[in-house]
């Protein structure tokens, strides 16, 4: 009898990509290339997306939106922008979706590692997973591109006990948890003018200071 | 059990045949079943099937899988240690300290999976089961060149070296009972049917398929090729009568409780109905199981072939699946043989098992 995790998606009747299988086989998200979808049912060819595909996709979508927004006269015939190649579009969409799924898997693993880190022995605590979560925060929440993913990331941080340093514009500068953008040590009475980058603590440890302008 | 049958069973079980490398076991199976069949054939990937021909009635396929779980060499370190990957669902949680045997290019190579002594193992963070890439095999070599000289290289397959033995009054224990015991059972069914062949209303095919443990690939190939009118897939099922198994989650199956019959998913209602009737008529006890989506056996790969093949899954209860101490009851083995034999005998010339509106 086959081990359930070794079932192929087709055999399970599951058309979704089998992330568990890929992870169980020792693959990392970086080593699993995005796969182009097969909208024409030709059997499909797996090959990695070209370098910079994500930026290209973002740029083309923004340009298309811009073109649409400058139409002023609704009576004027709409001259649509060059239609995108549907095959490429679906492929890139699938790749983007896979990227999000892998991000979620990484989040879940990070939270799981943090939950068991050190086994109660503070000296043995490894902060690497916490740093990974913070890096994810930077790439997902700070960029603000995908609100649903941002909310998920923030929830994961809270679950993992990674606490954002409360740096606020107009608030007092705290040298223990904040660093000045200028690199200089500000006066004790200095106030925060703006927050450039969020800072975090975990289990009372400073993972990184909040970067502020004073 | 017939002494010749038992000799074959032990020899067959002790022959390493991990998924993708089944031919040593297949040759032994073919050699044994040939005496009870009109023809024995195989395909390119090593699927083997024996046929009792009939000029009338449907083709009934009794299917088991010929492969077993194992390991495959992934990397050989400079120091001569072999790192492995799983073939199928090998349980790497209890792999350390076990003996393995690889099929090397120059013959079998024995090895041991390294186990750091409990005295010097870091247990401060609570011990966790090793990942498969944490395992390493020591073949007695001092460096990588010596390993290569032994005939091993990345891609050499291996299995645990444990064999089969009688256990208690009525049981067998050993490696690879999943599912080479199935190959034995369908061979025994053929042995019992061969003298009755003139009374049969169907052609009987005993199919021993490859690569079940890695995705049911052999069953896909063979069900397409043979296109049977109905199929009974025979595999093992988890006996859940040992401590620590939650029956609410995994169902209730008892070792020695008789064959399991699975309802739902790929199981065809009319074939199931016939099996139950056969069991009732012969006074056999059966155990009922359910599958909500898939059965985890070759049944999942047979039933949808060629527009649908009425199929059923008959299971042999087995304890400690995918370990080196898999355990079955010989009474259950006998019951499954009797049930499958009765099923074939019950088939009528015009049986199609088609449902009607």
Query: How close B17 gets to chain A, by Cα (Å)?
Result: 15
Query: Do B134 and B258 fall into the same domain?
Result: no
Query: Do B86 and B142 fall into the same domain?
Result: yes
Residue B291 maps to a domain: yes
CB B52 within 8 A of CB B203: yes
Given B112, B131, B160, which residue is the final one in a domain? B160
Q: Do B296 and A5 lie within an 8 Å CB cutoff?
A: no
Residue B353 maps to a domain: no
What pLDDT does residue A23 have?
40
Look up residue B267 and give its DSSP letter. B
Residue B265 phi, psi dihedral angles, 5° rounding:
50, -120
Query: Do B199 and B255 fall into the same domain?
Result: yes
Q: Do A11 and B300 lie within an 8 Å CB cutoff?
A: yes
Residue B357 maps to a domain: no
Task: Tell me if chain B has a CB within 8 Å of the CB of A74.
Answer: no
Query: Do B126 and B232 fall into the same domain?
Result: no
Task: Tell me if chain A has a CB within 8 Å of the CB of B68.
Answer: no
The tens place of each residue's pLDDT in chain B, 357 residues long, gives: 889 999 999 999 999 999 999 999 999 999 999 999 999 999 999 999 999 999 999 999 999 999 999 999 999 999 999 999 999 999 888 899 999 999 999 999 999 999 988 888 888 777 788 899 999 999 999 999 999 999 999 999 999 999 999 999 999 999 999 999 999 999 999 999 999 999 999 999 999 999 999 999 999 999 999 999 999 999 999 999 999 999 999 999 999 999 999 999 899 999 999 999 999 999 999 999 999 989 999 999 999 999 999 999 999 999 999 999 999 999 999 999 999 999 999 999 999 999 999
For every residue of A57-68, DSSP letters joined together read: HHHHHHHHHHHH
What pLDDT does residue B113 have?
97
What pLDDT does residue B349 have?
95
Residue B253 maps to a domain: yes
Reference A201, options A127, A108, A107; nearest CA is A127
How many inter-chain contacts (A to B, CB under 8 Å) are there?
A: 53
- The residues near A150 (Cβ < 8 Å, ≥ 6 apart) are A140, A141, A144
Scanning the structure block, which residue is given the tokens 């355990």?
A: B327
Nearest chain B Cα to A118, which residue?
B125
Residue B139 maps to a domain: yes
Residue B47 phi, psi dihedral angles, 5° rounding:
-60, 140
B125, B236, B301 member nearest A11 (Cβ): B301
Q: Give how many domains chain B has, as a whole number.
A: 2
The H-assigned helical ranges of chain B are 3-13, 23-33, 144-149, 177-193, 217-226, 247-250, 269-281, 299-302, 330-346
Question: Which residues in A lie closer than 8 A to residue B179 (C-beta atoms)?
Answer: 1
* ipTM for the predicted complex: 0.75
Q: Do A1 and B214 lie within an 8 Å CB cutoff?
A: no
Position A180 pLDDT exceeds 80: yes
Q: Do B125 and A11 lie within an 8 Å CB cutoff?
A: no
Task: Tell me if chain B has a CB within 8 Å of the CB of A176.
Answer: no
Tokens read off for B79: 């120091």
What pLDDT does residue A18 have?
43
Query: How close A176 gets to chain B, by Cα (Å)?
Result: 31
Q: Which long-range contacts (CB under 8 A, 24 or more apart) does B225-228 make?
A: B225/B43, B226/B49, B226/B59, B226/B61, B227/B59, B227/B305, B227/B306, B227/B309, B228/B58, B228/B59, B228/B60, B228/B61, B228/B309
Q: Do A1 and B124 lie within an 8 Å CB cutoff?
A: no
What pLDDT does residue B350 have?
94
Q: Do A1 and B296 lie within an 8 Å CB cutoff?
A: yes
Q: Do A7 and B293 lie within an 8 Å CB cutoff?
A: no
Reference B213, options B182, B256, B186; nearest CA is B182
Query: How close B268 gets to chain A, by Cα (Å)?
Result: 17
Q: Report how far residue B93's alpha carbon sits from residue B7's, in angstroms, rounded to the nearest whole number.
A: 32
- Kindly calculate the radius of gyration of chain A based on its CA atoms and give it in whole angstroms: 23
User: Which residues of B participate in catalysis according to the annotation?
Assistant: 212
Look up residue B112 and give its DSSP letter. E
Task: Tell me if chain A has a CB within 8 Å of the CB of B213.
Answer: yes
Q: Report how far residue B267's alpha carbon sits from residue A66's, in angstroms, rounded to the nearest whole number.
A: 56
A8, A118, A124 member nearest B215 (Cβ): A8
Query: Do B51 and B79 fall into the same domain?
Result: no
Residues 12-41 on B with a CB inside 8 Å of A are none
Which phi-psi region, left, alpha or beta, contains residue B229 (left: φ > 0; alpha: ψ -120 to 50)?
alpha
B235, B293, B321 member nearest A12 (Cβ): B293
Question: Which residues in A lie closer than 8 A to residue B264 (C-beta atoms)?
Answer: none
Query: Do B151 and B44 fall into the same domain?
Result: no
pLDDT band at A32 (very low <50, low <70, confident <90, very high): very low
Strands (E), A20-89: none
Q: Report how far residue B133's alpha carbon sits from residue B80's, in angstroms, rounded to the nearest whole number.
A: 15
3-class SS of residue A123: helix
Query: How close A121 gets to chain B, by Cα (Å)?
Result: 8
Nearest chain B Cα to A3, which residue?
B89
Query: Do B230 and B332 fall into the same domain?
Result: yes
H/E run at residue A137: helix A128-140
Q: Hey, which residues does B260 pair with through a beta bridge?
A: B287, B315
Query: Do B194 and B281 fall into the same domain?
Result: yes
Residue B162 phi, psi dihedral angles, 5° rounding:
-65, 140
Residue B168 maps to a domain: no
pTM of the shown model = 0.65
For every residue of B196-238, DSSP letters joined together read: GGGG-SSEEEEEEES-TTTTSHHHHHHHHHH--SEEEEEEEEE
Task: Tell me if chain B has a CB within 8 Å of the CB of A118.
Answer: yes
What pLDDT does residue A108 have?
73
Nearest chain B Cα to A2, which residue?
B213
Q: Report how far residue B68's alpha carbon sits from residue B22's, in angstroms, rounded to the nearest whole number.
A: 8
Q: Report how far residue A5's alpha carbon sits from residue A162's, in angstroms, rounded to the nearest whole number.
A: 32
Q: Hey, which residues does A64 pair with through a beta bridge?
A: none
CB A39 within 8 A of CB A86: yes
Query: Do B112 and B187 fall into the same domain?
Result: no
Task: Tell me if chain A has a CB within 8 Å of the CB of B236.
Answer: yes
**CATH code for the domain of B77:** 2.40.30.40
Domain boundaries along the sequence of chain A: 17-115
Q: Report how far residue B351's alpha carbon sits from residue B273's, in angstroms, rounded to the nearest whole number.
A: 13
Q: Do B294 and A1 lie within an 8 Å CB cutoff?
A: no
Query: Do B112 and B53 fall into the same domain?
Result: no
Query: Do B193 and B182 fall into the same domain?
Result: yes
Scanning the structure block, which residue is given the tokens 């790969």?
A: B301
Task: Tell me if chain B has a CB within 8 Å of the CB of A121.
Answer: yes
Question: Which residues in B lie closer than 8 A to residue A13 (C-beta atoms)?
Answer: 293-294
Residue B356 maps to a domain: no
For every residue of A123-177, DSSP letters joined together read: GG---HHHHHHHHHHHHHTTTTS-HHHHHHHHHHHHHHTEEE----TTSBP-TTT
Give the distance from CA B149 to its chain's centroid: 33
For residues A173 and B48, the model is more confident at B48
What is the edge-to-edge ordering of all strands in the sheet holding A178-180? A178-180, A210-213, A194-197
Tokens read off for A85: 């190649």
Domain containing B259 equals: 3-68+175-346
Task: Tell me if chain A has a CB within 8 Å of the CB of B249.
Answer: no
B126, B212, B237 member nearest A2 (Cβ): B212
Q: Do B216 and A11 lie within an 8 Å CB cutoff?
A: yes
Question: Which residues in B lie closer than 8 A to residue A118 (C-beta atoms)?
Answer: 125
- Give per-residue pLDDT as tens, A68-86: 556 556 566 656 566 667 7
Given B160, B184, B203, which residue is the final one in a domain? B160
Dihedral sign computed on CA atoms, order B42, B46, B50, B53: negative
Q: Residue B199: exposed, middle, or buried by beta-carbon count in 10 A (0-12, 13-18, 19+)?
A: exposed
Q: Which long-range contacts (CB under 8 A, 24 or more apart) does B40-47 make?
A: B43/B221, B43/B222, B43/B225, B45/B210, B45/B211, B45/B217, B45/B218, B45/B221, B46/B22, B46/B210, B46/B218, B47/B207, B47/B208, B47/B209, B47/B210, B47/B218, B47/B221, B47/B222
Query: Do B20 and B100 fall into the same domain?
Result: no
CA dihedral A115→A117→A122→A127, nearest 10 degrees, is -100
């Amino acid at each position: 009898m086959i081990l359930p995790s070794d079932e192929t998606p087709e055999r399970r009747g599951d058309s979704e990509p089998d992330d568990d299988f890929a992870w169980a086989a020792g693959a990392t998200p970086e080593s699993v290339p995005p796969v182009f979808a097969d909208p024409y049912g030709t059997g499909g060819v797996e090959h990695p997306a070209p370098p910079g595909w994500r930026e290209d996709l973002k740029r083309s979508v923004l340009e298309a939106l811009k073109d649409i927004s400058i139409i002023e006269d609704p009576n004027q015939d709409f001259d649509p922008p060059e239609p995108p190649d549907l095959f490429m579009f679906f492929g890139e969409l699938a790749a983007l979706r896979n990227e999000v799924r892998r991000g979620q898997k990484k989040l879940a693993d990070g939270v799981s590692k943090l939950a068991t880190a050190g086994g109660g022995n503070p000296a043995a605590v490894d902060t690497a997973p916490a740093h990974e979560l913070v890096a994810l925060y930077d790439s997902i929440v700070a960029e603000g591109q995908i609100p649903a993913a941002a909310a998920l990331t923030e929830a994961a941080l809270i679950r993992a006990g990674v606490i954002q340093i409360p740096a606020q514009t107009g608030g007092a500068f705290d040298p223990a948890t904040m660093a000045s953008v200028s690199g200089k040590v500000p006066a004790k009475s200095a106030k925060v003018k703006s927050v450039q980058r969020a800072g975090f603590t975990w289990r009372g440890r400073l993972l990184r200071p909040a970067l502020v302008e004073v | 059990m017939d002494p010749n049958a038992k000799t074959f069973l032990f020899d067959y079980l002790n022959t390493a045949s991990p998924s993708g490398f089944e031919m040593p076991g297949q040759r032994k199976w073919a050699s044994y079943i040939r005496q009870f069949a009109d023809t024995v054939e195989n395909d390119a990937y090593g699927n083997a099937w024996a046929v009792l021909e009939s000029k009338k009635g449907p083709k009934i396929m009794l299917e088991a899988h010929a492969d077993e779980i194992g390991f495959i060499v992934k990397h050989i370190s400079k120091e001569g240690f072999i790192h492995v990957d799983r073939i199928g669902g090998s349980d790497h949680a209890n792999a350390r300290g076990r003996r393995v045997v690889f099929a090397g290019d120059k013959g079998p190579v024995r090895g041991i999976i390294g186990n750091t002594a409990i005295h010097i193992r870091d247990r401060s963070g609570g011990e966790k089961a090793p990942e498969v890439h944490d395992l390493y095999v020591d073949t007695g070599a001092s460096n990588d060149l010596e390993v290569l000289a032994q005939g091993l290289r990345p891609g050499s397959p291996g299995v645990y070296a444990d064999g089969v033995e009688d256990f208690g009054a009525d049981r067998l224990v050993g490696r690879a009972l999943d599912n080479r015991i199935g190959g034995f059972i369908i061979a025994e069914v053929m042995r019992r049917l061969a003298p009755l062949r003139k009374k049969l209303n169907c052609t009987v095919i005993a199919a021993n398929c490859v690569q079940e443990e890695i995705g049911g690939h052999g069953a896909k190939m063979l069900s397409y090729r043979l296109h049977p009118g109905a199929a009974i897939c025979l595999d093992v099922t988890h006996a859940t009568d040992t401590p620590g198994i939650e029956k609410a989650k995994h169902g209730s199956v008892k070792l020695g409780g008789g064959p399991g019959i699975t309802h739902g998913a790929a199981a065809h209602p009319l074939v199931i109905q016939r099996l139950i009737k056969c069991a009732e008529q012969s006074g056999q006890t059966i155990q009922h199981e359910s599958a909500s989506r898939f059965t985890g056996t070759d049944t999942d790969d047979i039933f949808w072939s060629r527009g649908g093949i009425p199929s059923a899954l008959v299971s042999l209860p087995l304890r400690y699946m995918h370990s080196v101490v898999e355990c079955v009851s010989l009474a259950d083995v006998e019951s499954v043989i009797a049930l499958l034999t009765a099923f074939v005998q019950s088939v009528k010339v015009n049986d199609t098992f088609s449902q009607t509106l």
